[in-house]
Amino acid sequence: MSQKTKKPETESAETEPTIAAGGGSAWPFVLLVVLLFGCFLHVESTGGAFRADVFQAGMRTLPPQTDDPPAVKSYKRGAQLYAAGCVGCHQATGLGSAALNFPPLAGSEWVVREKPDRLIRIMLNAVEGPIKVKDITYDNPAMLAFRDVYSDDDIAAIATFIRGNAEWGNSAAFVTPQQVKAIRDGTAAMGSQKWRVESLEPVP
Ligand code: HEC
C-alpha cells in the first residue's frame, strides 16, 4: 500500500514539479483510493448481488392473477388496511378462529365467489345471525359494518387483498372502487342495518 501511494508523488515530481514540492501531495490520492474502495464494498454488499430472498418475499404478497399495476397497488394497500381493520378477528392467516366464533376468509365461499357482490355487502353493513362458512356454522354479532369507516377505494383494496391472497389459497379476481360504489349506492337504504344470510343468498 505504501509503495503504491508513493508512486504518483514521484511521477508527478517528474511531470509537475510544483505539486511534488508540497511533500504531502499523496494524500488526495490516498483519500481517493479509500473512498473508491469504500464504494466498492458498499456496492458489493448491497446492490452488487441479486437478493433472491428480498425479491421472493415481495412477490409472495402479490396476487397471482393480476399483473395490472393499479390492482397490485390496491392489493398492497388492502393488506395494510386488513392488518388494521380485520386482523383482530379474522387473523393474519385468514383462518379466523372456530374456538372464538370468528369465521375464516381463507377459502370462504362468501369471499372467493366469482362476483364480489356478497363480500362488498358484508363489508358495508356486516352480517349477523347464523352463517355457514366451510361447513362450520358461526353465530357471532361481532362483525363490524364498514360503510361509514372505509371509502370505495379502501373497500375495493381490502376485498382485492382477501380475494386474491395466494398465501390463503384464494385466487378470485380483484375488485374496483366502481363496483363498491354501485353496491354502496344501491344499498344506501339499509342504513346501519346488518345483513342476514337469507337476504344475501339471492345475491350472486
Ligand atoms: C370484531 C371482529 C371482526 C372484525 C374486526 C371483522 N370481522 Fe368479519 N366477521 C366477524 C364475525 C363474528 C363474523 C360472522 C358473523 C355472523 O356470525 O353472522 C364475520 C363475518 C365476515 C364475513 C362473512 C363470513 C366469512 O367468513 O366469509 C366476511 C367476508 C368478513 N367478516 C370480512 C371482514 C373484513 C374484510 C373485515 C375488515 C374490513 C372484517 N370482517 C372485520 C368478525 C369481525
Cα separations (Å) of 28 from 6, 16, 34, 61? Answer: 12, 16, 10, 48
C-alpha cell at 193: 342495518
CA–CA dist 16, 104 (Å, integer): 79
58-107 tens-digit pLDDT: 445 555 555 568 899 999 999 999 999 999 999 999 999 999 999 999 99
Alpha carbons within 13 angstroms on the beta-carbon side of residue 78 total: 26
Report the residue among 89, 163, 196 best suited for mutation to probe ligand 1: largest number of ligand atoms under 8 A from its CB.
89
Please give the number of the atom of ligand 1 that sits closest to the Cα of 197.
18
Q: Is 159 in the pocket of ligand 1 (CB under 6 A)?
A: no
What percentage of the chain exceeds 70 in pLDDT? Answer: 68
118 CA to centre of ligand 1 in angstroms:
12
Q: Measured from the CB, is residue 138 less than 6 Å from ligand 1?
A: yes
pLDDT digits (tens, 9 = 90+) for 6-21: 444 444 445 454 444 4
Rounded Cα distance between 167 and 6, Å, is: 60
pLDDT recorded at residue 82:
98
- CA 23 to CA 33: how far, in whole Å? 18
Q: Which atom of ligand 1 is nearest to the CA of 150?
A: 38
Q: Do 94 and 105 form a contact (C-beta atoms < 8 A)? A: yes
| Phi-psi map region of 148: left, alpha, beta (phi>0 left; psi -120 to 50 alpha) | alpha
Span from the CA of 143 to the centroid of ligand 1 (angstroms): 5
pLDDT of residue 64: 56
pLDDT band at 137 (very low <50, low <70, confident <90, very high): very high
What residue has cell string 358461526? 138
- Percent of all residues in the chain with a pLDDT value above 90, rounded to a whole number: 65
**Nearest atom (ligand 1) to Cα of 131:** 18
Q: Residue 156: pLDDT above 90?
A: yes
Q: Is 168 exposed, middle or buried (0-12, 13-18, 19+ CB in 10 A)?
A: buried
- Looking at residues 179-201, what average pLDDT do you find? 97
What is the C-alpha separation between 96 and 162, in angstroms, rounded? 13
* Rounded Cα distance, 164 and 126, in Å: 21
Q: What is the mean pLDDT of residues 164-193?
A: 97
What is the per-residue pLDDT for 12?
45
117 Cβ closer than 6 Å to some ligand 1 atom: no
Integer Cα distance of 28 and 5 in angstroms? 10
Determine if ligand 1 sits within 6 Å of the CB of residue 122. Answer: yes
Return d(Cα 203, Cα 115) in angstroms, integer. 9
pLDDT the model gives residue 69: 81
Regarding the beta carbon of 131 and ligand 1, being less than 6 Å apart is answered yes
From ligand 1's centre to the CA of 104, what distance in Å? 8
